Amino acid sequence: MTTNHVKRAFKYRFYPTDAQAAELSRTFGCVRKVYNMALAARTEAWARQERVNYNQTSALLTTWKKTEELAYLGEVSSVPLQQALRHLQVAFTNFFGKRAKYPRFKSRKKSRKSAEYTTSGFRFRDGRITLAKMAEPLDIRWSRRLPEGASPSTVTVSQDAAGRWFVSMLCDDPAVQPLPATDAAVGIDVGLTHLLTLSTGEKIANPRHERRDRIRLALAQRRLAKKAKGDGANRARARRKVAKVHARIADRRRDHLHKLTTRLVRENQTLVIEDLTVRNMVKNRSLARAISDAAWTEFRSMLEYKAAWYGREVIAVDRFFPSSKLCSHCGTLAERMPLHVREWTCGCGTTHDRDVNAAKNLLAVGLTASVCGAGVRPQRSTPGGQSATKQKTPRREP
């Protein structure tokens, strides 16, 4: 019986030669050009109530290469150009499936610079990768080993706003296997003062990565603002310095979240979180910076895919569930609970830490949902002593 291994991306920094950097920069530009032209062609066809699929855009690419104006498209590897058309096809599939908005054009300045190579576009031998149209292998810094005997199925080369070059290899990872089942379950309440509060009573501090580098970031941004607008070298250097500070913040934040989510997934079989709409929450100007720095969406994403890897379950409870106002001991629902109230005492005499109480309630309703197969709120009492009826809570599947 064959085992289905998890496909996992392994990302490394590399340092290209001048010739490699020039070739990759040309490839990035051609990928963006082909994507935008194909999107324009499909949009025009859509206006005529026609649909253009991947095969038709591939035929268009062949035609474009034969023209004098776009002959330069034939000077780079054709593999990343075909992959760009496939990515556009996926974008339209998601749009028609109502899972995403209509695809947008790629900007020269704002879009991510990347090119994806399939097996026909690179050679992997003796732990060295050589891309099509290049004579020398990439100078990669192997910060960790690839799985034993692994061979990449795709290789994605990218350059971030800070000017750093990365290569990402998609490989089968046989080491990712379901962990032994456990009875442990935990409710997780996210916050700003404390990044996470667990139903066990543990509180995990918020590192506030952005705040630690705020002075350095503000200085770099002020220097950038003083540069004349345009494509000048001075402005480009100043922009890169701002990007380096942002990259430093993002790297530290990502590293911390990886360690945290890995630990939670290893220790618990069931993890219950709140289904927050972060997109709406960041519209609050006074809290937007702190919420963005906390990266709740990235935390949830990591938690969900690692749970899928290791055979764990993540349950998202409806955001309208009153986890903070509900007494986890007797089930009484408080009428009001302003944000500044961090501790409160229920009529039953139980004193609650607001965040710990919320985490306990999330765990209770999450376990109920898991057993019943639907998001069912636990029975609770109103302040007047009357029992509230069970209400079904919509739950988004993780």
Which long-range contacts link 195-198 to residues 24+ away (Cβ below 8 Å)? 195/260, 195/294, 196/260, 196/299, 197/353, 197/355, 197/356, 197/358, 197/359, 198/359
**Residue (of 200, 353, 194, 359) closest to 273 by Cα position:** 359
Cα dihedral sign, 221-222-225-228: negative
Contact predicate 86/154, CB 8 Å: no
Amino acid symbol at 38: A
| DSSP assignments along 79-108, one per residue | HHHHHHHHHHHHHHHHHHTTSSPPP-PPPT
Residues 68, 71, 74, CA angle at the centre, nearest 5°? 160
d(CA 373, CA 77) in angstroms, rounded, equals 50
| Residue with tokens 């809570």, as numbered in its chain | 393
**Which of the residues are catalytic?**
189, 274, 355
| Residue with tokens 């009826």, as numbered in its chain | 389
Q: Is 196 exposed, middle or buried (0-12, 13-18, 19+ CB in 10 A)?
A: buried
3-state secondary structure (DSSP) of residue 120: helix
For residue 143, what are the CA distances in angstroms to 10, 109, 160?
10, 30, 18
Contact predicate 388/380, CB 8 Å: yes
| Residue with tokens 């903070």, as numbered in its chain | 324
d(CA 36, CA 132) in angstroms, rounded, equals 23
